[in-house]
Amino acid sequence: MRPTGAELLGRLLDDHGRALVLYARGWCEAPEDVVQEAFLKLARQPDVPDNPVAWLYRVVRNGAITAARAHGRRQRHERAAAEESAAWFVASDETRLDALEVTDSLRGLPVEQRETIVARLWGGLSFEEIAALGGTSSSTAHRRYQAGLAALRERLGVECPTTNARPKI
């Protein structure tokens, strides 16, 4: 792996692979394939992109949207109904949130809010990078993030924090 480097690719896989799968899951039903193709595309690049994480999220987003269009709406709905009970997260004792409940809550969000929350919380992207992904402004991305969090808080039954901790942009 001369151009990109095996070490960098392995680190990106470990740190962002699962988050990218979760990110692509918002559009298509085969997110692993989309993410794998994105990593292969990165390996084919003659030069490493300036921000490989943002580059991967952009490629995954485009690939997931393309895959969703290719599958068609009817097939997507059938598969979505079949995987209604599949959780997007691994059950863990570290958090008091239920994985299946969070999955249902995330699935119920609008796609713009969901992709903003996933890219922010699990991808670690800044609002500028999220805005660049969706072709919006950073203020719009921040507004979507806050709206999505509020919706999740309501659906999960989590109390509103006393201090308005605002994430750093």
Partner 1 sequence: MSDYKRTTEDLSPLETALARLVPHAEGWNRDQILFLAGQASVSGGAENARRRTRWGWPSAFGAMTAVAATLLVMLLAQQRPQMATVENQRPAEDVKRADTASADVPPKAIEVDKNSGQKGDVAEPAVSPAVAWRLRNALRAQRDGAAYLYLRDRVLAFGLDEWTSTTDVNAQKEPASVPSYQQLRMSWMGS
131 touching partner 1, by CB under 8 A: no
39 touching partner 1, by CB under 8 A: yes
Instruction: Report the C-alpha gap between 14 and 169 in whole angstroms.
Output: 24
E strand or H helix at 155, and its extent? helix 138-156
Minimal CA–CA distance to 98: which of 26, 157, 30, 28?
Answer: 157
The pair of structure tokens assigned to 89 is 């997260």
Binding mask 72-111 for partner 1 (x = CB under 8 A): --------------xxxxx-x-xxxx-x--x---------
Q: Which residues contact 85 (CB under 8 A, 6 or more apart)?
A: 100
Q: Which residues bind partner 1 (CB under 8 A)?
A: 1-4, 6, 9-11, 13-19, 21-22, 32-33, 35-36, 39-46, 53, 86-90, 92, 94-97, 99, 102, 117, 121-122, 124, 149, 152-153, 156, 158, 161, 165, 167-168
